Amino acid sequence: MRKTAIFRSKLFQEHDPGFDHLDSPERVAPLFFTLDELAKNNLFIEPSTTKASRETLLLNHSPQQIDKAAATAGKIFSVLNEDTFTSPKSYEAACFAAGSLVGGIDLLMNREIANGLALVRPPGHHAEKDCSMGFCLFNNIAVAAHHALKRHGLKRVMIVDWDVHHGNGTQNSFFNTEEVLFVSIHESPLFPGTGSHLETGVGSGEGYTLNIPLPGGQGDLEYANIFNTLILPVGHQYRPEIILVSAGFDGYHGDCVSSMRLTHQGFGYMAKVLVELAEKICSGRILFILEGGYNPAGLREGVFAVLSELVGERLTTPFPSFLDEETEAILRKERAPHPAVERVRDIAKRYWKM
């Protein structure tokens, strides 16, 4: 069993965007309950005790945005964007969410843990440098990547975003640099409307953004084929020093925000491929970060399928939570790519050997 850090805090449940909001605190409550049970089996639970400082947030965000979010602290209800609302402790939760990832980077680089899973709220990948949006106050994964580059001197960070929505904020944070390879698989058309396969980066960052927009209805086989034939070859050539994953579980079949058809087996396979890539290339350094996921069953099953791959053994839970060998063998087979993926491959061939 690998030493996997699971970052969580009751504070994350105190971020409450309001009645009937999709990003309800209750969506993570079953995860935390099951983790309490699994902790009895010696899983390494890392309480989220690192609060991102203003200096750390400034690595990715403007002073004005930080001030606007900070001004919501203690207020019963505030509106940062048409879909991004806060409660009294939302700002504090956001600082600890970003801080959890910064702490996770430090633990990975100091070899105190093998890998990690950050079950944070609010999510982050839509937050831009100058504005909060899409349920996100600060861009947790972008802050973490900047920290890895500037505080630990890394030169190559790979970010894989499989949330069903395009990570516009993360893309824009690194659109002009080769220090971060950003890969996004997302449904299109869908919020926020960005993420065309033609968006590949600018200047020294050209070729280091790889967008894979898909029509709805794609499932485990289609996603696995993308990892087998596109993400893995690029990852091996880029040779990242650390891998960060925006793990959204809203592509689960039955999630209300998308029409994708992923199961826990699909999430488990994507995690397995990335964990294996990290083991081969960057001493196993990989950190998964929770983004979306609004179907309770899908979120539970997906998270624990990922966790099984991180710790390296099947976890006993009340629901399906691991990738079985028969399904893995099926998913590893290469297939003819979807026409949408073929268009991405044609673009990627300009920069990578496919």
Catalytic positions, written as ranges: 126
Distance CA 204, CA 216 (A): 33
* Packed helices 140-151 and 90-109: angle between N→C axes, nearest 10 degrees: 40
Contact (Cβ atoms closer than 8 angstroms) between residue 268 and residue 305: yes
Separation CA 198–CA 192 (nearest Å):
16
Residue linked to tokens 């996603």: 223
Q: Quick one: 204 exposed, middle or buried, by C-beta within 10 A (0-12, 13-18, 19+)?
A: exposed
CA–CA gap between residue 188 and residue 280 (Å, rounded) = 32
3-state secondary structure 125-189: CCCCCCCCECCECCCHHHHHHHHHHHHCCCCCEEEEECCCCCCHHHHHHCCCCCCEEEEEEEECC
